Copies of this chain bind each other. A is one copy, B any other.
């Protein structure tokens, strides 16, 4: 493989001059020399070595995508469609700006910092922060710009992008209320341990409160694990004397699970239970009836995070910002109007 030295020799110039061409330093190389050098580079398929460049610049053009992997996040969260979308967009947007994306699962803040040092990553974007102490520590210790998705610690200087989770929960519940429902439960993945799910819950409670209602304890399901969890919720619901007429779900898959078990028991959605999901994911459109769901703008979210990252890389002052993106309700077929 050709090196800058060989290119320089063949062009009869110093390595410096080639370097100036590579880095597009203006007014340093005469047009003719530049053209000649570029042709020689083309011919040899010359590409500068990132190892050598980053050794000097202390910057690698690598952005790490941090995927937490601990008790709270046992399997790689990449496995959810939402994550796949976000990561795919990150890759596309960052590459367009000349950055490379490295996938980094990690178990402790220390691990993430080690990766930063090992590679001199220009920045890191953390997905699915879940467990507070570890993330708190990571935010404090990170040695390069860090953008955190869906989590913000108010006591820390940090960069984060999230969505109006509270509004999402609120919109879901209010829609049901407007359609005449008064007995509305909620099935959530982790009110206890996840701030974002808690906010969805609070939005739900707020909407109920506007109608003078309070959440009923026996209709609050926490720790519901995706589709299988939804099925279990449905079973409990079906065993109750008094059942809610509608359920807000913090994830589409939970709603799909409830729907499945109801249908298997010969009951119908939305006649026997109305359902609102969250995320507007593929499954929400695949089931029959299609799910009414809270939509978040995933592409926009990825773009926002990338913009933050790029700004943070160029501006060392930019280390404290929080963007919260809007959500909206997609009305489909899973909510019945009550007389």
Q: Which residues of A contact B (CB under 8 A)?
A: 1, 45, 47-52, 54-55, 60, 62, 67, 75-76, 78-81, 83-85, 87-89, 91-92, 95, 100-105, 110, 113-115, 117-120, 143, 227, 253, 256-257, 259-260, 263-264, 282-283, 285-288
Q: Is the CB of A102 within 8 A of B105?
A: no
Given contacts A49-B55, A79-B88, contact A260 B283 (CB under 8 A): no
Known: A78-B91, A79-B81. 11 other contacts (CB 8 A): A47-B117, A48-B118, A51-B51, A51-B60, A75-B88, A79-B85, A79-B88, A81-B282, A100-B115, A102-B102, A253-B282
In the assembled complex, the Cα of A87 lies from the Cα of B103 at a distance in Å of: 9
Q: Is the CB of A81 within 8 A of B81?
A: yes
Copies in the complex: 2
In the assembled complex, the Cα of A129 lies from the Cα of B85 at a distance in Å of: 20
Partner of A256, one of B54, B118, B286: B286
A85: chain B residues within 8 A (beta carbon): 79
Partner of A52, one of B55, B67, B102: B55
Chain A interface mostly: helix
Given contacts A287-B287, A288-B287, contact A50 B119 (CB under 8 A): yes
A52: chain B residues within 8 A (beta carbon): 51, 55
Q: Is the CB of A105 within 8 A of B114?
A: no
In the assembled complex, the Cα of A24 lies from the Cα of B118 at a distance in Å of: 18
Task: For A62, give the chain B residue with the smallest CB separation.
Answer: B102
